[in-house]
Structure 1
């Protein structure tokens, strides 16, 4: 049952973190799409719209809380995570890999972990990554705040 919950949450988070592509007016009106035009800007990454830490954390709330005294969920409560040793929040059953990681959460560790949890800590149970650097930064700032 836990595996199905993890898969469901993973799919939900992936769907929530994706932004739909804009539909050109011609396509919306039923006209055939125009041929792509090669420009220097085509290879330039699209800037990420500014996102608040609270907005960034919204996708995490399916598994985590940040409220003082809130119960553990599928993932641990993240209040006070910055400065805390990984796998040490009382009352949560962490993976052996995370407990043995010897990580103390700081901005750099959180950034690496959130970018690719299973790559940073092989064997972790966290399956959701935050690939967007701007979203990770907003999230880390939010988790760093008291």
Structure 2
């Protein structure tokens, strides 16, 4: 019986190792018939601001009066001077930056926080432009 199992397994392995007479057809590379600006706008529509903020919520809240986490609350962020929310110990670099948060400064900061403000404690970047745009729009709403 044992010999039959070994023989069957050997035949199965031999059959699996063989090559088919004709290889499967290769699919053509996808083409892009929309301009890049249109493509990124379409991609932004596929993610909500709340979904984009989900990764931020590990360190930040968006509720007024919520306890501080590893990062400050982002409630009312747009229009606020960087490093000015009470109750959070910001890095000296962010406090001295003079930044007032708006869509443009948030876009630059979220792309590479330590490049915009060397010495900031925020090290998490949002490299995807569509996710960044959705996040900025979400943070801009009350």
Is TM (by shorter chain) over 0.5? Answer: yes
Give 4+ residue runs of structure 1 displaced > 4 Å after superposition: 32-41, 44-47
CA distance, structure 2, for counterparts of residue 68 and residue 126 of structure 1: 21
Aligned to 1:145: 141
Q: Does residue 121 of the first structure (1) align with residue 95 of the second (2)? A: no
d(CA) in 1 for partners of 2:25, 2:103: 44
* Residue 40 (structure 2) pairs with residue 50 (structure 1): no
Aligned to 1:89: 85
Structure 2 matches for 1:1-146, cutoff 5 A? Answer: 41=32, 48=43, 50-146=46-142
User: How far apart in 1 are the matches of 2:137 and 2:110?
Assistant: 13
Query: Per-residue CA shift, 1:86-134, capped at 9, x if unaligned?
Result: 0001010001110000000000000000011001111110010001111
Q: In structure 2, list runs of 5 or more residues that go unmatched.
A: 1-22
SS at match of 2:105: helix
Larger Rg: 2
Shift of 1:38: 5.3
Aligned residues: 113
Aligned in 2, Cα 1:34/1:117: closer, same or farther, shift over 3 Å? farther
Query: How far off its partner does 1:68 sit?
Result: 1.2
Structure 2 partner of 1:29: none
- 1:27-82: per-residue Cα shift (whole Å, max 9, x none)? xxxxx9986855655xx978636111101000000000001110110000000000
**How far, CA to CA, are the matches of 2:67 and 2:78 in structure 1?**
19
What is the Cα-based RMSD across aligned positions, in Å?
Answer: 2.3
Closer, same or farther: CA 51–38 of 1 in aligned 2, 3 Å: closer
Runs of 5+ unmatched residues, structure 1: 1-31
TM-score normalised by structure 2 residue count: 0.71
TM-score by length of 1: 0.69
Cα distance in 2 between the residues matched to 1:33 and 1:128: 43
